[in-house]
């Protein structure tokens, strides 16, 4: 039997599954198909619906709207899902939508993410682990966000955009192209402004590995030849370096979205 503590003013659907130690505060609404794993806390006034699973230890703050139908006119009531990982913090007035039939039927947020007040994660977005979204960040539908990405306040990310692991997006940026792993992008429209060196150092990346990554960055985003040619050269020159190969694979996998590059005249990293 669950040891969930449910405030008398909360409404919990008969089919909802509540793990051990769940806390549901005043005026929360939990739908029939929601699963709250162990030690999840809904502080108050949280509304969760749909086929939504919230991982253990996650805390959701007042007026968050989680799992309600996507803001997509192509959605017609299909039983799509939303999965939120463990130990996340979802602050006030955040909105997170489930997937759609046109996008894989799933929105996923990884473990230990911090989503600050009034941020939005749209349908079919796939968010990695340890991602930080500051206030008012908007992640559009079908985006793919790698692990350890940090977004400054009021960023807007175009649908279908990919952002590689350990990237940093500066405040008030409008991102309409893919950002390489370990990259840093700023502006409206955003451009690549270098590598996220501060983040790499904080996460204890090896100094020599950072030097090789910087050398590869300068080669890939130089002005000689085509981007594909430069990427192929970097792949060969740094064939034993996993960080560089991650960047190479990311660029080579680009499909419909452009890769953000430095602006003309901007110094390479």
Q: Rounded to the nearest 5°, which phi and psi values hold at 213?
A: -65, -40
Question: What angle, rounded to 10 degrees, do the helices at 227-237 and 207-220 form?
Answer: 150
Active site residues: 123-124, 141
Beta strands 59-60 and 89-90 are parallel
């Amino acid at each position: 039997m669950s040891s969930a503590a449910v405030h008398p003013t909360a409404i919990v659907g008969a089919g909802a599954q509540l793990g051990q130690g769940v806390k549901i505060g005043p005026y929360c609404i939990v739908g029939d198909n929601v699963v709250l794993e162990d030690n999840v806390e809904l502080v108050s006034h949280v509304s969760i619906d749909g086929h939504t699973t919230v991982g253990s230890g996650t805390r959701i703050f007042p007026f968050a709207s989680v799992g309600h139908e996507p803001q997509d006119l192509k959605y017609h009531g299909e039983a799509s899902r939303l999965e939120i990982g463990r130990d996340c913090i979802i602050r006030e007035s955040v909105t997170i939508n489930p997937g759609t039939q046109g996008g894989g039927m799933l929105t996923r947020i990884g473990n230990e993410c911090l989503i600050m007040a009034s941020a939005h994660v749209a349908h079919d977005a796939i968010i990695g682990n340890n991602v930080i979204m500051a206030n008012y960040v908007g992640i559009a539908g079908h985006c793919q966000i790698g692990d350890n990405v940090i977004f400054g306040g009021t960023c807007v990310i175009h649908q279908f955009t990919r952002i590689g692991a350990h990237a940093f997006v500066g405040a008030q940026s409008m991102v309409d192209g893919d950002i390489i792993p370990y990259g840093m992008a700023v502006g409206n429209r955003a451009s690549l402004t270098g590598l996220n060196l501060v983040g790499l150092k904080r996460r204890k990346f090896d100094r020599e590995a950072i030097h090789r990554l910087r050398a590869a960055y300068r080669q890939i985003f130089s002005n000689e030849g085509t981007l594909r040619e430069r990427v192929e050269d970097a792949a060969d020159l740094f064939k034993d370096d996993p960080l560089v190969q991650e960047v190479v694979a990311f660029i080579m996998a680009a499909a419909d979205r452009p890769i953000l590059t430095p602006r003309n005249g901007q110094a390479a990293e």
